[in-house]
Amino acid sequence: MTTNSSRPAADPVGGTACKAAVLGFPIEHSRSPDLHRAAYRALGLDGWTYERIECPAGELATIVDNLDEAYLGLSVTMPGKGEALAYAATVTERAALVGSANTLVRRADGWFADCTDIDGVTGALGAVGADFTGGGSAVVLGAGGTARPALAALAAAGAEEAVVVVREPARAVAALELAESLSLAARVLRFDDDDALAGALSASTAVVSTVPAPAGTLLTSAIDGPVRLVDAIYNPWPTPLAD
């Protein structure tokens, strides 16, 4: 695997029939097909298709190897973001930095990986009015393949501190190492640290949740007042945390 600082660029081929898909498990809930098909219509990409493909942990390489050459691009969600990064022939520097890839693009020299989750979190922070001018802190729920890109987006936005909330502190090691490399102060709290969580939430400029909806309910008792929330989960919506 090699790194590349540029972002992947597909080469649309007009009306030629091409395929794309989202890989993950579970995947039935994904709205990615709706979003991409609407974009194809708007761009006049007649004949392009976008589907859901079940991809349990450990199976991404086998599944992608068996896709026919009409597949030009793939979105990757849980649990395959780390596998996508390892599978790709070339990756962007930012994907390598966060250890996560949510996008695979077929190129002549193999699959190219990027992490556009960073862009997504950046845009969402702006949409909820999270202003880190002059510093500020954020609470990040989870420490996996979406949480690490969130840390990168927070650091780029100017955040000075991130509080990473997990069930088990050992799961946050990679997130803490990433935060250190980004010059972002970080500390870990458990979901059951109610008093400490309440203080972190009240002091935060924004909360970024990357955990399944049921896990977010563990924080509802610690929230005292409005928070600026970016929730990566959109089904069901609103999540208990967002409601």
Catalytic residue chosen out of the listed positions 8, 24, 73, 81: 81
Q: Is 19 a catalytic residue?
A: no
Distance between CA 141 and CA 231 in Å, rounded?
9
**Hey, what are 133's tokens?**
């001018």
Distance between CA 95 and CA 22 in Å, rounded?
18
List strands edge to edge, sheet with 90-92.
Answer: 2-4, 90-92, 110-114, 103-107, 71-76, 19-24, 49-54
Contact between 176 and 151 under an 8 Å Cβ cutoff? The reply is no
Instruction: Dump the DSSP string for 125-146.
Output: HHHTT---TT--EEEEE--STT
Cα separations in angstroms, 207 against 8, 35, 50, 163, 170 = 29, 25, 32, 9, 21
3-state secondary structure of 198: helix
Cα radius of gyration (the chain): 18
Distance between CA 48 and CA 21 in Å, rounded?
11
Contact between 125 and 152 under an 8 Å Cβ cutoff? The reply is no
Query: Which residues are tagged catalytic?
Result: 81
